[in-house]
Structure 1
Amino acid sequence: MNSLTHIEKQKLERELSMGGGYVLNFSNRSFEEFFREVVGVEIYAPPYNLNSGSKANRLRAFWQVSTDEQLRLFLKGLIEGWDIYSGRPISDSACALLDGILKRLGSNSGTSVSPREVMTICLTEETSSKLISRLLHLTSLPPQRRGYEFEIFLKELFSAYGLAPRASFRLTGEQIDGSFVMHNETYLLEAKWQNSPISAADLHTFEGKLGEKASWSRGVFVSNSGFSTDGLHAFGRGKRLICMDGFDLSEMLRMKLSFVDVMEAKVRRAAETGCPFVPVRDLFMG
């Protein structure tokens, strides 16, 4: 259960225009995608089918059963995407309400990690060594198991850095290998463990998945075998995904770097150059 108060719920109902069964200007599809990708909840699942099953009632059901962490993800997502889902900039009253609830939820949770704290998380020698051993162990597994175990490893990695990871989930006609939250932004994950470097076709496929999601969704493509030079060149520049290879992971763990610092460096270099893949060694040892 969460610590959202009755008065906070009433104020949220007013700011989100829930009187007629709606929530802001969410459509059924955008409402479903928002909760799936930002909060990690299937809002149209039976537990949220309250009374008429309208978006407003489903949100009320969410408020009844969600955890404080899920509430934080929900509120942070609203702040970031308010203009998209309401058609107007966020008002001072709504901003103050959401920010106030977030601050109170944060102060009430001894296990929460604020965005600023996430940036400073570096792994201990013990945790780093365990993850390196896990990564090396994957090479001894049968090919059929490596991809699945690689996804589990990445979820453990993101958990170690406090990034609220979610395991793989399947949408109609496609699968997403997982997601994590960094600086209030949701990153969708594509993970590949194969013998050959990733080609442009795989990159375009994942970019296509991102194109079907909310306009602010980002992607991280993690390939143990790396990315072919020709594939990166053919893929082009200015896309919404960042690439990491197996050597990036091992170097990050060996040097006990913060994953968030690594991602920030990669995002900045991608913004400066348009290239989705710059090795960790070039970013931190070049």
Structure 2
Amino acid sequence: MKLVDDLFEMNGGYVLNFSDRTMGIFFLEELDVDIDDPAYRDNGPSKAKRLRCFLNKVDLGTAVKTLKVLWKYREAVRQSQGREDWVVNAEGQFLSLINRLEGKPEGAGRTNPPPKPALDVQRIAGLKSKLLELSSLAPQPRGYAFEAWLKDAFDCFGLEAREPFRHRGEQIDGSFVLQGETYLVEAKWQSELTGAADLHAFHGKLEQKAAWARGLFVSNSGFTADGLAAFGRGKRVICMDGLDLFDALDRQLPLNHVLERKVRRAAESGLPFERVRDLFA
């Protein structure tokens, strides 16, 4: 709740730039909720006290939906005002809070012990250090170590990672589950940029699998612009490079949210690659 107070400027009894009237309209139109209901005035009538009471009384799904809607409004207002964020790593902290809340077992009551935080700062720092250390390895052991590192990174954010496996002579560098969808992984750490041939080869593997299989191609060195253009739009593959991985860890952005945003952008644009620093500007 301390983080919620800071994110939505609730420490003085206010909530962002809402008046009593506009907050009532917002909750009614966006959430179909009467925030002026006396049931949410247990601790007082101020906007902040009513919101805190509401978040503590409603079910977990409603609380998460409310926070997401408020965050969207917060960012729209902040950006329209050209205002610098007043909370350090606000988006990373907010997404980690959502991870913690959504990570509760189904049906768990509010009296249950809190779940383990989704943002393990020490583990993330360790992943970042190991990623930098991989560059000192020889090419072949570095490739295997990179595959193992990716599994650790996926596991850190609850993505149910599976280790590399071979099927009828075909090497798959691992898999993970995101939003109920299975993604196969292709991982490369080489000196040259990855071109269209490797992307097409990986997409060919996907086409031999179930129709719902998707893919993540991770190239530490990055991708050629011509290769991405030749690979084209509308494929079942999203791409990440080493800078994406480092930016996500350095900014403490949960990897599951990074991938979700890449998937959404790919669905909107048809393009397989968008940098993390542009997705989380």
2:260 counterpart residue number: 264
How far, CA to CA, are the matches of 1:251 and 1:278 in structure 2? Answer: 13
How far, CA to CA, are the matches of 2:239 and 2:153 in structure 1? Answer: 16
Cα 1:175/1:253, change in 2 over 3 Å: same
* 1:201 counterpart SS class: helix
How far, CA to CA, are the matches of 1:273 and 1:232 in structure 2? Answer: 13
% identical aligned pairs: 57
2:235 counterpart residue number: 239
Larger-Rg structure: 2
1:213-267 deviations in Å (ceiling 9; x for gaps): 0000000000100110000000000000100000000000011111111111111
* 2:171 counterpart SS class: strand
Asked whether 1:142 is paired with 2:138, we answer: yes
Aligned match for 2:164, one of 149, 164, 168: 168
Aligned match for 1:279, one of 270, 275, 281: 275
How far, CA to CA, are the matches of 1:214 and 1:167 in structure 2? Answer: 19
Asked whether 1:225 is paired with 2:221, we answer: yes
- C-alpha displacement at 1:209, in angstroms? 0.2
Question: Cα RMSD over matched residues?
Answer: 2.0
Aligned match for 1:153, one of 128, 149, 155: 149
Q: How many residues align?
A: 171
- Maintained 8 Å contact 1:220/1:244: yes
How far, CA to CA, are the matches of 2:225 and 2:255 in structure 1? Answer: 24
Structure 2 alignment gaps of length 5 or more = 1-104, 109-114
How far, CA to CA, are the matches of 1:257 and 1:155 in structure 2? Answer: 17
Aligned match for 2:191, one of 190, 195, 200: 195
How far, CA to CA, are the matches of 1:163 and 1:241 in structure 2? Answer: 17
Letter in 1 for 2:237: L
How far, CA to CA, are the matches of 2:217 and 2:130 in structure 1? Answer: 20
- Maintained 8 Å contact 1:239/1:274: yes
Structure 1 alignment gaps of length 5 or more = 1-105, 110-116
- Maintained 8 Å contact 1:242/1:266: yes
Asked whether 1:204 is paired with 2:174, we answer: no
Letter in 1 for 2:271: C
How far, CA to CA, are the matches of 1:205 and 1:224 in structure 2? Answer: 18
How far, CA to CA, are the matches of 1:145 and 1:108 in structure 2? Answer: 45
How far, CA to CA, are the matches of 2:257 and 2:279 in structure 1? Answer: 10
* 2:131 counterpart SS class: helix
Q: TM-score, normalised by structure 2?
A: 0.58
- Maintained 8 Å contact 2:234/2:271: yes
Asked whether 1:186 is paired with 2:182, we answer: yes
Letter in 2 for 1:212: Q
Cα 1:262/1:125, change in 2 over 3 Å: same
* 2:184 counterpart SS class: strand
Matches within 5 A, 1:12-23: none
Higher relative contact order (CA 8 A, sep 6+): 1
Letter in 1 for 2:181: E
- C-alpha displacement at 1:122, in angstroms? 4.7
How far, CA to CA, are the matches of 1:210 and 1:145 in structure 2? Answer: 26
- Maintained 8 Å contact 1:121/1:258: no
Cα 1:108/1:122, change in 2 over 3 Å: closer
How far, CA to CA, are the matches of 1:108 and 1:166 in structure 2? Answer: 28
Q: Which runs of 4+ in 1 moved over 4 A?
A: 106-109
How far, CA to CA, are the matches of 1:277 and 1:121 in structure 2? Answer: 30
* 1:190 counterpart SS class: strand
2:250 counterpart residue number: 254
Q: TM-score, normalised by structure 1?
A: 0.57
